[in-house]
Structure 1
Amino acid sequence: MGVLFQHFPDSEAERDFVRSERADRAPAIRALIIIAIATLGSYIVMNPMHFPRAGVLVYTAAALAFIAILLGLFFVTKTEFYLARRWIDLPLFVAVLLGMIGLTKALIDQAAITGFPSHVMALIQMGILVIFASVAFAGNVFLFFLWAAGVLALFSAWLFSLPVSPIGKVYALTNFTTFLIFALYFNWEIDRRARGVFAANRALVAERRKTEELLYNVLPREVAARLKAGEAVADAFSDLTVTFVDIVAFSSLAQRLSPGHLVTLLNDFFSAADDCADRHGIEKVKTIGDAYLAVAGGMASRGLGGEAALRFARDLIEKVEALAEASGIDLQVRIGIHTGPVVGGVIGSSRLAYDYWGDTMNIASRLQHAAPPGGIAVSEATYFQTRHMQDYEPAQTTLLKGVGETAIHIARL
């Protein structure tokens, strides 16, 4: 931003600032207009007690014309056009200036009654006008300076045409210039502070968005909203499909590869798994060492049940095969899939994550151990959901640790 005529380098930021500042200041402008109209109305009522009839008629006509201009300004500030087009201030306040000149002339004609010399009356009226303008030129310092320079030039030319003593002219011009300088500084300072607040709020909003995006990377949006509302998050799912992926012989790989090489390999594997999960609309829950846990039909899943989980598993096996070929490392995975009831929710107060619990999770993990390298083992519940889209080996009953005898179906890939 510049020093005198401040301006945001980003045109969008400048446009947003102008709109917000004019919207914020519009109620104050309308309040001042109401005060001005009420004041003019009181003079219209009182003048017949002091002015001759001709003077009353001239003043009333000038006051009503000025009120009409002010009412026009009042209603313009309620429009979208006013918020978006700050240049409108200049023609509006040229009209206001003309209205004030007419009113001032009507008062000067009654100088013999009011006791105010013409240059003093003009000084008072123009002083009131520039103070009002310093508030009403919202987000518009440059145009206010331009308008004020025009007012000063007109006042100076009129003042020096009067039959007033030189010292009287100097004092009147000095006083008016002081009014004007104060009004200009007031307008500039309001604009400077408003821009500072706007920039700070804009930065705060940007940081809040970043924080929310980080939060949404960890938690589903619905869950994050519930947590922000202070709600305890706990959900029950009656038919959720769990996919558990594990790297075959990872301990052996860890012994053969350098730590940096191992981390790179894991990163490539997990990145491939994330891409597959996103493609098939299933929800990554977490990584556990070299294992990858995902669910279909959960809080943040687009894919439904076993079909999405199976597509994810087949896709991931192809990705791992490509990764193994590219790296020259014998990399394979085992995948277990089971469908059943699960409880989900968020617990704790730090490092928040939406997690899932229940026997279904344990069974998927055990099924992974029963799968062949580069293969997929599914439970009977998942088999019935996916047999129309996948050929399986004949079922075999296996004793799974912690689960008992379980019918396992191995996918033919």
Structure 2
Amino acid sequence: MGVVLQRFEDPAMERDYLRSERTARGTAIRSLIVVSVATLLSYIVLNPMHFPREGVIHYTMAATALIAGMLTLFFLSRTQFYLDHPWIDLPMFAALAAAMKGLTLALAAQAEITGFPPQVMALVQMGILVVFASIGFAGTVRYFLVWSFAVLAIFAAWLHSQDFTPISRIYTLTNFSTFFVFALYFNWDTDRRARSVFAANRELAAEREKTEALLYNVLPQEVVARLKSGKAVADSFSDLSVVFADLVGFSGLSKRLSPGHLVRLLNDFFSAADRCAERHGMEKVKTIGDAYLAVCGGMASDGRDSAAAIGFAQDLIADVEAMARESGIDLQVRIGVHTGPVIGGVIGSTRLAYDYWGDTMNVASRLQGIAPPGGIAVSEATYFQTRSMLDWERRREELKGIGETDVYVARPQAQAA
């Protein structure tokens, strides 16, 4: 962004700034117009008490032209055209300057009645216009510079053409130049500050988007909205499929591999699980050591039945087998799946995460523990929804904390035709 004639390097950002600034300053501009029009109307009413008929006519005509120009700007400032085409300030204020010149000449002609010399009346009227223009040129310092220098040149030329004393010309022009300099500085500094605030807000918005993107990566968007509104997040799911996937023999691997190699291996495993979860509309809940927990039918999952969970398990087993072939390391995964009621929600105030609780989670974890390497173990509830997907083997197993129950085991390579 330039130091003197400020402008954002990005054209899109410059356009956004101009729309924002012109929208924000529109209220102030319209308020000044209302005050100015009310003042001019009051003079139109009062002038017949003091001015001769010809003076009243000249003043009223000039004031009417100025009021018309101001009302045009009033209504124009409420349009999209005004926001999108900042150059309109230049012709609008050129028209206002012409109308103000007419008003000034009308008042100067009544110097004997008002007691103000013509040059003083011109100084006051044109000074008011320059100050108003310093607010009216919203975000367009370059145009204001062009306009104000033109007004200064015309004012100086008018002074030179009048039969004033040299000292009167000098003092009048010097005083007008003071209005001129202050108005320039005000317009420039207002624009400078507005641009700084706009740039800071853009950066803040970008950081907020990054933060929200990270937050949405951890929590579902609906949950984030509820947390922002201060609501407690607790949900009940009646038919959710829970998947636990765990690497076989991880403790042994941790003793054989270097820490760096082990972390890379885990990263490859969890990344493969993430890809499989996305492919099947599963919701990743968390990782626990070398175990991966996902659900189907929860808050942020697209898959709505156990078939998606079994599809996820098949793909993950195939990906781990491919990893084993590429790395030369004996890698296998076993997976447990159970379908049932679950409670989900967010608790605590730091490191927030949407978690799930209930016996269904515990059963899925126990099923993972009895699944064969490279295989899947499911509960009876899951089996009845997915029995056509694989060749299942029924077993009677003792599950810790649950008791003896029927489970179904399968290896993906034994898929049903």
TM-score normalised by the chain length of structure 1? 0.98
**Partner AA of 1:96 in structure 2:** L
* SS of corresponding position for 1:135: helix
Contact between 1:241 and 1:339, CA under 8 Å: does it hold in 2? yes
Report the CA distance between 1:115 and its aligned residue. Answer: 2.1
- Answer yes or no: is the 8 Å Cα contact 1:245–1:333 preserved in 2: yes
1:300 corresponds to = 300
Task: Tell me the SS of whatever aligns to 1:179.
Answer: helix
8 Å CA contact 2:51, 2:113 repeated in 1: yes
The equivalent residue for 1:252 is 252
Residues 238-258 of structure 1: CA deviation (Å, up to 9, x unaligned): 110000000011111111111
What is aligned with 2:415? none
Secondary structure of 1:245's aligned partner? strand
**Mapping of residues 241-320 of structure 1, within 5 Å:** 241-320=241-320
Match of 2:402 in 1: 403
> Is the counterpart of residue 195 in structure 1 residue 199 in structure 2?
no
Q: Which stretch of the first structure deviates more once superposed, 136-145 or 110-119? A: 110-119
Structure 1 counterpart of 2:168 = 168
Instruction: Specify the alignment match of 1:381 in structure 2.
Output: 381
Is 2:32 the counterpart of 1:32? yes
Runs of 4+ in 1 over 6 A off after TM superposition: none
**Counterpart of 2:391?**
392
Tell me which residue corresponds to 1:78: 78
Aligned-partner Cα distance in 2 for 1:340–1:171: 91
CA displacement at 1:412 relative to structure 2: 4.3
Q: How many residue pairs get matched?
A: 412
Q: Is the partner of 1:160 in helix, strand or coil?
A: helix
CA distance in 2, matches of 1:358, 1:118: 91
Q: Comparing 113-122 with 167-176, which one deviates more in the overlay?
A: 113-122
Structure 2: which amino acid aligns with 1:91? P
Q: For residue 354 of structure 1, what is the aligned residue in structure 2?
A: 354
1:158-204 deviation digits (Å, cap 9, x = unpaired) = 11111111111111111111100000001111111111111222222
- Show the 5 A alignment for 1:3-402: 3-388=3-388, 390-402=389-401
Deviation of 1:112 (Å): 2.3
Letter in structure 1 aligned against 2:237: F
Instruction: Report the CA distance between 1:306 and its aligned residue.
Output: 0.4
Kept in 2: contact 1:366–1:401 (CA 8 A):
yes
Matching residue's letter, 1:57:
I
Report the 3-state secondary structure (helix = DSSP H, G, I; strand = E; otherwise coil) of the residue aligned with 1:107: helix
Task: State the Cα deviation string for residues 213-270 of structure 1 (Å, max 9, x = none).
Answer: 1211111111111111111111111110000000011111111111100000000110
Could you say what secondary structure the match of 1:339 adopts?
A: strand
Query: What amino acid does structure 1 have at the position aligned with 2:39?
Result: T
Amino acid at match of 1:224: V
Structure 1 spans left out of the alignment, 5+ residues: none
CA deviation after TM superposition for structure 1 residue 25, in Å: 0.5
Q: Deviations over 1:259-297 (max 9, x none)?
A: 100000000110111111111111100000000000000
Worse overlay, 2-11 or 353-362: 2-11
The separation in 1 between residues aligned to 2:72 and 2:187, in whole angstroms, is 22
Deviation string for 1:49-107 (max 9, x for gaps)? Answer: 01111111111111111111110000000001111211111111111111111111211
Deviates more, 1:239-248 or 1:363-372: 363-372
C-alpha separation between the residues in 1 aligned to 2:282 and 2:115? 86
Distance 1:167 1:394 in 2: 112
Whole-Å separation in 2 of the counterparts to 1:251 and 1:193: 61
Q: CA deviation at 1:393?
A: 2.4
Cα distance in structure 2, aligned partners of 1:323 and 1:12? 47
3-state SS in 1 of match to 2:393: coil
Secondary structure of the residue aligned to 2:246 is: strand
Give the Cα separation in 2 of the matches to 1:141 and 1:64.
Answer: 28
Do the aligned partners of 2:374 and 2:411 also contact (CA within 8 Å) in 1?
no
CA deviation profile, 1:361-380 (whole Å, cap 9, x unmatched): 01111111221111111111
**SS class of match (2:8):** coil
Q: What is the CA–CA distance in structure 1 between the aligned matches of 2:10 and 2:73, rounded to whole Å?
A: 30
Given that residues 242 and 295 in structure 1 are in contact (C-alpha distance below 8 angstroms), is that contact kept between their aligned partners in structure 2?
yes
Distance 1:240 1:264 in 2: 32
1:129-163 CA-partner distances (Å, limit 9, x unpaired):
00000011111111111111111111111111111
8 Å contact from structure 1 (residues 392, 409) kept in 2: no
User: Helix, strand or coil: the match of 2:92?
Assistant: helix
Unaligned 5+ segments in structure 2 are 413-417
* Distance in 1 separating the partners of 2:203 and 2:214: 17
The residue identity in structure 2 corresponding to 1:81 is F
Q: What SS class does the counterpart of residue 161 from structure 2 fall into?
A: coil
RMSD between aligned alpha carbons? 1.1
Contact 2:393 2:410 in 1 (8 A): no
Aligned amino acid, residue 409 of structure 1: Y
Distance in 2, Cα, partners of 1:402 & 1:171 = 100
Cα-to-partner distance string for 1:13-39 (whole Å, 9 max, x where unaligned): 222111111111000000000000000
CA distance, structure 1, for counterparts of residue 196 and residue 296 of structure 2: 48
State how far apart, in whole Å, the 1-side matches of 2:405 and 2:312 are. 23
